[in-house]
Every structure is written in C-alpha cells, then in structure tokens.
Structure 1
Amino acid sequence: MDAQPNTMLEREYRVACKRAQERLESSYVLTACDPSAADFPQHAERWRAVWYVQTASDGLPEMLLALSVTFPDELPSVYLTIACAKRHEGMLHLDNSRLLCTFDSTAATPNAEVPGDVVLAVVERARAILADASIGEPAVDDFADEFKAYWGIEAPQEALALVRPGDRVKRVAVFEFFPAWNQTAILFADKAIAAELWIKAVQCRSKLRRSSGLYVPIGNLGRAPYPSTNREMFERLKALDPDALRHITHYLVNNEPPTWILFSIPSLTGRALGAWAHPQPKYLSGCGSDIRPTDGISGFRMGKCPPHLELNTLNGHARLVRATVTEVTSPRLIARTQGQERERAAGFVNVVGCGSVGSFVAESLVRSGLASKLRLIDPQVLRPENVQRHYCGMSDINQAKAVAIRRQLLKHFPQLECVAINENVLNVLRRSPKLLGDASLSVFALGELAVERRLNHLYQTGSLGEGAVCFVWVEPHLVGAHAVYLGHPTEGCLECLLGSDLEYVPRIIENPSQFSLREAGCQSTYMPYGGTDVQDFVSTLTRFLRGMVGSRKNVRFTWFGDLDAARNQGVAISRLYDDQVSFTSQIYPIFARQDCGVCL
C-alpha cells in the first residue's frame, strides 16, 4: 500500500484501525495477510489492513477481514479464503471475488465512535452465515431473492431490457453492440423500432448486430450454481420447468444459433431478468487421434439436429454465454423513484412555452413520471443570456428551444415519446385547431398575457379538447409563482382572476411592473429571477399537478418564495398574504367573476 498522508483525518483513521485490531484480538487470532498472497482481496490500494481471522482454536482460518483506508466510516469487508470458498461454492451471500455479504451498506451505518464493536459485529455476522451454510442447503426462494448476484458470477456481459417481465412467452428484438456501449453489450426490446429510437436517443455510436430472441418466464431455476452449459440448462429445465424447456427447444428448431434467450424468474419484488445465448454448435467426428471438428451430424441437415439431442448430448458441453440484465422500461425506472408505480397522464402532455420556466416544467413532468408522451411548442431560439436559468446549456445556444429541450430529454430519458414544434402556438392552432386536443394536460408557460387570454377563451369554447389546462408564470425575483388549473370548462377561469387593468388580482407583489428590467436594444425587457428558484417552484408545481390528475376542479395554485427577504428589502407584499410563510404553497378555489365574458 502506498504511503498515506499525515493529515488529521488520516491520523484518526489509523487510531480507529488500531482500536479495531485490539478489540478483535481479544476474541480471535489475527494474522496479517501479505498483499502478495493468493488470498489477498482485489484492489490492494483500497485496504489499510487485511487479516486472517481464525475463529476456531484448531484448524486453518476461513475468512479475511479487510479494513478500507476510510474505516470506520465504511463497513469492513469479509472475504473467504480460496480453500474455504471452494468448499462453499454456490453459498448464499458469496460472490465470485469471494466477498461475503454481511451487512447491506445502504441500510447499515457503522458507528465510528466504537470501531471495535463494528468489526466484531461484522465477523460475528460472517460466522453466522458460514454456520448456516454448513447446516444444509438453503431454500430455492433464498437464491431467487439474490438471483442477480449469482447469475452474474459467470456472466461476462451486461444487457439492458426495454421489456417488462411478464407471464407470456414472446419474441423480442436483440441488438448487440460492437464495441460495448457504456459497458452494455446487448439491448433487448419488445419491438425493433423501440430499440432503434432508444439507441438513437442515447447517441450510441457502436456497430449493431440485430437479431431476434425469445423471452420466456421460468417458474423455477433452482439453486446456485446456475447452469453454465447446454446440457446443464437442459437437465435443469427438464426437471424444474419442462414447459419453459418446450418453448425454448421449439424456438431453437426454427432459429439458427447463436440464439439469445431472455428469461425471468419470480423474486421477492416481482420478476428478475437474466439472459443467455446458445452458441454456434461445434461438433466432433472421428475417433482416437482422428477426432476433428465438423459442421454437422450424420443423418441431419445443417442446423436441423433436434434441439434435445444437440443440447443434451452432441453439443451438451458447449458453454452458455450469460448476461446480467437490467430492466430500463419507464414503469420500472419510475417505480424506483417513488416506491410504486403511480398514475400518469393518459395521453400527451403539452408544454407550450419552453423558456426558463417551461423548460424545467417539461423536465420535471418527465422525471416524475407524469408525462411519458410530451409535446413541446415554442417559436424562439435559446439565447446565451438565458442559459444560466434554462434547462439547456451553452452548447444549445441559437437553437430552437423546443428542439434543444427534446434532444436533452431524450439523452436522459430515451424511452420518452417527444415531439418538438418550433412555432407560435396560435399559428399552430390557426392551421391545425385540433393539434392539442389529444392531450391529457396542457401547461402554458408563456409569460404573454394576450396569448394566454386567447388560449383561455379557446379552452372555454372546447377548442382545446377535453384535457386539463394549466397557466403558469412567476413574479419578479421569484418572490412567488402561480398556476391556474382548469379541469373543466365551467364557471371560473383565468379571465375571472384579472382586474380591469389586466393585472392578476391575487398577485403577491403589489407593483410587479416596477421590477422589470431591460438591456440595451429593443424587445429586451425581462423579469429577473434565478434558475435555482425556478426549480424549487417547479418541483412543488409538479407535485400539485400529480395530485390533480383526472380532476375536473378549477383552482389556482400559489407558491411563495423568500417572502422574508422580500419584506426586508421593502417589497410591497399584498395584504392577502400577510400571514404567509416563505417557501410554502397554497391551493385556492376560483370564483367566477360576474362580469366575465368568457366562462359566464
């Protein structure tokens, strides 16, 4: 190990390591493991100390305890010796590097104040796992719950799947990357077009080999170690899931190898995916010193050997090519962010106005899972002066905002269906009045009251379809922001909230126009606010919109920024919000104005 620095933190780590060693030596015999020893764990630079731990008074040590250079802020690791690992091949919680999983580092936090207790707890946990392994074979369900770790022991390739693991056997599209793209060698998809769009969105430049494969749900694959050859897989499935074997052999009859099989098995959280490929057959003929490879088997045409004969007998020795598989479908990714799959907009979501507010609204709607189909409409290009508070960056300047946002979103969310229209929304509706009508929700973040009033009128007359609409804007310095949500054309609309001077009546700042700024030149007036404040508002707005999915209510939503700072700076805050607290939000009903000529 390289020489360590003599910093205060490094000295604290050394003391903790010494204390841990002393505590452990009070219960066990420790022997330092030389970095050149075969038993020494991988990545030698990571470890401060590695000891053989002799847990019995007689016999050889079975495990090594490895303390990282940042112990005790990181849990110790336990490795089995090579000899012990061979005796316990296929044991639960043991990977192919001989690492024994004792505690989940995500769920367990070491107490740095008592490093001796930490190492003692880890060793005791390791001993308990070894003791359980010696008692008998664990249940099949135990292996299923940790299937990915064991399947990955002999899986040299990583794959992604745009396939939901269900109960139905089906063909899938297979795309292999040469060279691997970001360590991914294969992409599985229900349809080839979905894979092609995904690959284009992530800007993969690898060469592609396209083929078809078979998805098969397997009810039971047994215990680890899992099959690694044709014969082992044939025998395992024949004993545990003959129906799956029947589907696979039928598929192999009609498809030339190498052939990919995508499969799933039941697990604690649903179904876990894995994959294997049957290699090109390599047959041998002759006998004695005259044994030589051949392309086929006597009595059968090329590729027509019965699969059960090829897999179990003639080509049974051939090793399967395993791949670990990660599902990257939208429902699965969204479920990981929320703990469960949540309701989303049924159709398109329109975001009209892709500036500083609209760009972050679009990103948040997609990230939250509310929008899986997005239509972006904006006629403007992104100017350099707006980059600091926009979702897109300097690399996108002087490009159409809608197009730039679409490109950035697809790089991050390649499964998204997204359309960009670089045009004024009213001009679009003038030519195609029903274009927005298929949307479940339309968010208007225009900052142009005349256009918003026109859209409000069109909505009230039914010209924008049956989906909800939401008008969004912010106040100067983002002291506050507003959304007017209309779930149904009825009494109470945007027009009802405007005064005779066309100012929004329930605004937060009494005189917002005095805060407008302009730069040298015509058409340069702008409203000052920061990008971070926009993101704070948009995050709260997205939660509000998620709660309104399917609602036919008409309400107004107000988000309050740093009111305390605004008051301290002498900003005149409306008496409506005298008691309002900073960085909160409220939902209010919309009352129809008796003289409103739009909704009454």
Structure 2
Amino acid sequence: MQKHEALIILDLLKTDDSLQESELVPNVEGNTIAISGKVSIEGHKIKILLVLDPDFPRSLPYIFLQNGSEYEDLPHVLKENMVCYQTTEGIILDEKQPAEIIRWAIQKAVIVLADGKKGANWGDYADEFEVYWGYVSSSSIINLVNTTAKSHEVKLFKNGQKSYLAQSVGDVARYLHLDIDKVRQKFPIEERSAIFVLPVGTVIRPPRFDQPFWLVDELKRVIQPALDTLSVKQYKQYIKLNNSMSGTMVFALPRPSGGFSLFGVSYVSPEGNHPFSERGNSAKIQPIKVLREEASYILPRGGSKTAHSSKRVLLVGSGAVGGYVAHELVRAGVMNLTVVDSDKMSLENTFRHVLGNAYQGRPKASSMRDELNRKFPYADIVAIDTSIEQAVNDGLVRFSTFDLVISALGKPTTEIWLNEQAVKYAKVPILFGWVEPLGIGGHALLAQPGIKGCFKCLYSSIDPEDAMANRAAFAGKNQWFGKSLSGCGQLHTPYGSLDASRTANLMTQLALDSLTGKETKGMLLSWKGDSAEFLKQKYVLSERFKTSEEQLYHTRYLFASSACPICGRLPNI
C-alpha cells in the first residue's frame, strides 16, 4: 500500500469515532504502513497502533496496544502487546473497502479487550496457554503421552539434544520406528516424571515474557488445584519419594474448547527435594515448552480418526493404486497395516507410483513400509515381500486375523481366489479396486461375508460366453490393453497417476466405511472418465459405460449374480 492510499483511508477513519486522534506514523521501514490512534473501551481511551503490511487490504491489519497496562495481561494479548482479535482462516476480505476492514478489525479488538477486562473471556487463557508458555520457554520436550483426566506418572527419555515424555521406552520405540535397545542407546538418560492434571474450569494467568519467571511458591499456588486431587498414594509416589537434584514436571490444563493445554517446568534442587515437597522451596524452576506429538493430538489434527488405530488391515498389492491406498489409510488413522507384494519397484513406474524412483529395484512391500514409517509416526507396518498365495502357504497371513482385506492387485484370477478365501472361509470383509485402461474409469467393490454380492459375482453369468467377462467393466469384452515398452517383461495397463489416485480415494472411503460399520452391505462404486483417447485407439466401450454416474451410484448395491458359486444362494438383504 502506498502512502497516498493510506492518507485516503485516514481521512475516511476520521469521519467517525472508530479511531480517534488518528495519524500516520513516520519512518516505518519498507512498504509497511502504521497508523496510531485511540479507541474507547468501557469509557477509557487506549492508544493503539495499526500496522498494515504490504498485502493489505488482502490481509488483516495488526493491532498493538501502545498504552493501557491494565489490558496487557488479558486473554488474546500476545507478545509485544499484539491483540489477537480474529483468526484469518475462512475470512473473506473486500479489498475495495480498506477503511471498512480497519473499522471492523478495530471493533473486534475492542470487544476482545472489553471482554477481557470484564473477565468474560478468561477461559480463553486455557485455550491459548501453550502459546503464552512458548514465549517464556527456552527449551522443549516432545510429548508422546495421551493425557487422561487424572494425574499419572510418566518417564522422560533424553540425551543432550532431545527429550521424549512417554509411558515407556516401548512408546518411544514405536514412535521413532526403532527397536528398544537402539532407543536406550540414543536416549541413555531415563527420569521419573508426572503429568499433573488440573480440574476442569481452572483459570491460570500465564507468566509474562517481559517479567521474571515464577518462583516455586507461585507455581505451587497456580498448580494447587491439581495437587489437591492427588490421593495419599499418588502424592507419595509423585512427590514425596521422587526426590532428586533435578527433574521435569508437566501440567495439563483443560481447555474449554476440548482437550488440554500442556506446559512443563524443569527444576534443579540443591538439597534434592521435589519442588512441591515441604522443603522444596529452594528449587530453581524454568519453563519448558511441550511439543505435542501424542497420537490423540496429531492424528485428529490431520483428519484421522483415533477409532481406526486399533483396526488391522491387510493390503494385497502396493502398486500404483495400492500405494495411494496405503498412504490414505494411514493418514486416516489406520495404524496397523500389513502389505503383501512380490513385485519390485522399477524405473518404468516412476511417474505412476506414489514412491517415484526413490526405491528403484527394491521390493514394493518393504519400500512401502519404509516410506510410511519415514512419514508417519505410530504407524505399525508389516511388509511381506512374497505373493499372497505364498504368504498364506507359509503361515505369514491368516485372513481371519484382519478387520478388512484390500486387494489392489489388478489380477482377476488371484482376486477371485482371494474373494473366496475372505468371504467364504475367513468370514472377513474384502475390498477390491482396479483401474480401467486409458482413463475411462475405475471401480471399488466391497464384499461382506454372509451377504449376497461379491467379486466373483462380476465373473458369474448364466451365459457361458460371458462367464469370465467382468460385468462391471467400462471397456467392451474380448479386448487386449496391455502395452509393452521393451518386451513382454514390461507389459502394463495404460492409465495415469490421477486415475490410480481417484480409484484409491474411492477405495479408501469405502474401506473406512466398512471398518467403522457405516457400510455393512456389499457395494460396487464406479467413476467415469474421458473416453476420447480410448475411442481414438479404436477400442470399444461397454454398455455399462453409457450409464450415467448418478444411475451407477443408485444401483451400487445391485451387482450380485444368482449364478455366483460363492454367494449366489445367499438370501437377498
């Protein structure tokens, strides 16, 4: 924003009392514009500073208190006395009305400050407590503990650089995807600690970043509600018998919006007394920022469901489609995934596979495990680098031990066998997904044990000539689509990464619906793509391709065949 534009806004602001005694602040660096003025809060005039960055009016103005010390300790007044009056997410600004944006921002800031002065928004301290605590902290620990409603003992595993708060060394090992001995080598120091949970409704004014940090007595006064909830046994365990020259404590402050704000304190006690013990007043304490890496915190923030974490899924095939399915399942919170694939990563798969060429020449299943472990903490991935038939014969896979089986093989012969093993013998749901050639579409089929409608139904027809033709296909029957780049060893079905991704998304949603019990019937879902390239190469579409996507969805449960030897005799549900 140019200075002459700011002067125009200044004139507009002077037409009302939204910003009194307003003036431009000279000598501001860069393209930033600063305007000072006064606002009225509950009859008191407070001087504020509006800072308009170069993106204004496509961004909100920053508002700082310039005087009025009685407002500095209120909720939503952050470092350097900046007033946090509105989050930017979801806000649409009319850049043609810059003066109105400023008026609106001032009004929001005044409301925040007035509510703070009256105590109406003091509960927001708890929601923002971690932000305030971060201002005064110079060190941090990583938390892996899912906080509960009661205080509990934990352990701290640390070296000179990092510290992990966990229930056990096994939790750190699972988070880092290391064995326990390796964790003990990397983090040789193990300390007892505790998470003290404050009662719901507790209000704590955070320490100021520009003032000395609390003394032990001040901390005890703030934390006393948590100490009052301890049983005699807990007090003895966490405090009386936990005497050492140094240590760490973590506190959980319930947030009105849900969950907890976590903050920590380290202490050094020359006499070896816990700070909360009768003789612990001489301890020196320092604030510690708690970095939130516990599963119950980071999974929901990414859209995952913690309910999925206990489910066990078998994925057969980790190629172009299976690779996307594996990633989306873990992102959705499915932490226990077994991947079976006998194939290896090849250079030809680079632009179709989610792994690119980073694992060229390595087994696909192991590569998928390593990549998922690299990206996602808490994921428990088992890789089996053989065919599914071999894995079953060797006793490495028992279908009945899984909540869901998923096949992304794209090999109908093997998948017909898988279908029978899952729904007929193991009594476990099984999901199939495949992509049609040249982008004309993709499909996801869910089969449920004991319910009519399975993968074999697609290859079951009263007409013997159609017995081995896929009734769901968009491509006409008796056509060959395999492409060869360098001989028979490199045959592939021509489709792109977008086709694989779209099919994988369809499969993943259907998988999650099955795991949560939302979908209890057999279902066939299909998406249709552009057939131009398919027809250009003189291929023929099936009659099913002519069906509208709306009609395909409405008939998603109507794919069962009475001629199916697996489920044809089951009753219709």
Sort the TM-score into its range (normalised by shorter chain): 0.7 to 0.9
1:77-118 CA-partner distances (Å, limit 9, x unpaired):
00122x54x443421111123211122211433221100111
The counterpart of 2:523, out of the listed 555, 559, 563, is 555
SS in 2 for 1:252: helix
- Which amino acid in structure 2 is aligned with residue 168 of structure 1? K
- Which amino acid in structure 1 is aligned with residue 558 of structure 2? P
Equivalent position of 1:143 in the other structure:
125
The counterpart of 1:472, out of the listed 433, 448, 451, is 433
Offset of residue 554 of structure 1: 2.9
2:538 is equivalent to residue 544 of structure 1: no
2:170 is equivalent to residue 193 of structure 1: yes
1:515-540 CA-partner distances (Å, limit 9, x unpaired):
32112223221101111221122112
Equivalent position of 1:53 in the other structure:
37
2:300 is equivalent to residue 335 of structure 1: yes
Query: How many pairs are equivalent?
Result: 546
Offset of residue 232 of structure 1: 0.6
Equivalent position of 2:22 in the other structure:
30
1:196-221 CA-partner distances (Å, limit 9, x unpaired):
232347x99x9644433212211154
SS in 2 for 1:443: strand
Q: Is the 8 A contact 1:352 1:444 kept in 2?
A: yes
How far apart, CA to CA, are the structure 2 residues paired with 1:555 and 1:88? 60
Q: Is the 8 A contact 1:376 1:421 kept in 2?
A: yes
Offset of residue 398 of structure 1: 1.0
Offset of residue 240 of structure 1: 7.2
- Identity over aligned pairs, percent: 19
Q: Is the 8 A contact 1:273 1:326 kept in 2?
A: no
Q: Structure 2: give runs of 5+ residues left out of the alignment.
A: 208-212, 461-465
SS in 1 for 2:345: coil
Superposed, which structure 2 residues align to 1:53-452 within 5 Å? 53-55=37-39, 62-81=47-66, 83-84=67-68, 86-134=69-117, 136-138=118-120, 140-176=122-158, 178-179=160-161, 186-200=163-177, 208=187, 209-219=189-199, 221-226=202-207, 228-238=214-224, 242-244=228-230, 247=234, 250-255=237-242, 256-282=244-270, 296=271, 303=272, 307-311=276-280, 313-315=281-283, 318-329=284-295, 331-338=296-303, 341=305, 343-344=307-308, 346-369=310-333, 371-432=334-395, 435-452=398-415
Q: 1:570 to 1:477 in 2, by over 3 A?
A: same
Q: 1:217 to 1:197 in 2, by over 3 A?
A: same
How far apart, CA to CA, are the structure 2 residues paired with 1:239 and 1:356? 55
- Which amino acid in structure 2 is aligned with residue 216 of structure 1? F
How far apart, CA to CA, are the structure 1 residues paired with 2:500 and 2:362? 22
SS in 1 for 2:370: helix
Q: 1:582 to 1:594 in 2, by over 3 A?
A: closer
Query: If the length of structure 2 is used for normalisation, what is the TM-score?
Result: 0.84
Equivalent position of 2:463 in the other structure:
none
Q: Is the 8 A contact 2:198 2:251 kept in 1?
A: yes
How far apart, CA to CA, are the structure 1 residues paired with 2:392 and 2:250? 46
How far apart, CA to CA, are the structure 2 residues paired with 1:177 and 1:305? 22
Superposed, which structure 2 residues align to 1:5-44 within 5 Å? 16-26=5-15, 27=17, 28-33=20-25
How far apart, CA to CA, are the structure 1 residues paired with 2:437 and 2:388? 25
Q: 1:346 to 1:186 in 2, by over 3 A?
A: closer
Q: Is the 8 A contact 1:518 1:526 kept in 2?
A: yes
2:416 is equivalent to residue 453 of structure 1: yes
Q: Is the 8 A contact 2:344 2:363 kept in 1?
A: yes
Query: If the length of structure 1 is used for normalisation, what is the TM-score?
Result: 0.81
Q: Structure 1: give runs of 5+ residues left out of the alignment.
A: 1-11, 37-43, 180-184, 283-295, 297-302
SS in 2 for 1:163: coil
Q: Is the 8 A contact 1:76 1:119 kept in 2?
A: yes
Offset of residue 390 of structure 1: 0.7
How far apart, CA to CA, are the structure 2 residues paired with 1:596 and 1:128? 70
Give the CA RMSD over aligned residues. Answer: 3.5
1:5-37 CA-partner distances (Å, limit 9, x unpaired):
xxxxxxx7666544433323445323444568x
Q: 1:563 to 1:188 in 2, by over 3 A?
A: farther
SS in 2 for 1:344: helix
- Which amino acid in structure 2 is aligned with residue 367 of structure 1? R
- Which amino acid in structure 2 is aligned with residue 486 of structure 1? A
The counterpart of 1:515, out of the listed 481, 484, 488, is 481
Q: 1:584 to 1:594 in 2, by over 3 A?
A: closer
Q: Is the 8 A contact 1:238 1:245 kept in 2?
A: no
Offset of residue 477 of structure 1: 1.6
1:284-329 CA-partner distances (Å, limit 9, x unpaired):
xxxxxxxxxxxx3xxxxxx257843333x333xx233231442531
1:394-420 CA-partner distances (Å, limit 9, x unpaired):
221111111111111122221111111
SS in 1 for 2:416: helix
How far apart, CA to CA, are the structure 2 residues paired with 1:470 and 1:496? 14
SS in 2 for 1:396: coil
How far apart, CA to CA, are the structure 2 residues paired with 1:132 and 1:552? 50
Q: 1:337 to 1:200 in 2, by over 3 A?
A: closer
How far apart, CA to CA, are the structure 2 residues paired with 1:528 and 1:544? 25
The counterpart of 2:472, out of the listed 497, 503, 506, is 506
SS in 1 for 2:417: helix
- Which amino acid in structure 1 is aligned with residue 238 of structure 2? Y
Equivalent position of 2:541 in the other structure:
573
- Which amino acid in structure 2 is aligned with residue 124 of structure 1? Q
- Which amino acid in structure 2 is aligned with residue 218 of structure 1? L
- Which amino acid in structure 1 is aligned with residue 112 of structure 2? I
How far apart, CA to CA, are the structure 2 residues paired with 1:249 and 1:160? 26
Offset of residue 491 of structure 1: 4.9
Q: 1:481 to 1:168 in 2, by over 3 A?
A: same
How far apart, CA to CA, are the structure 2 residues paired with 1:261 and 1:426? 52
Q: Is the 8 A contact 1:16 1:71 kept in 2?
A: no
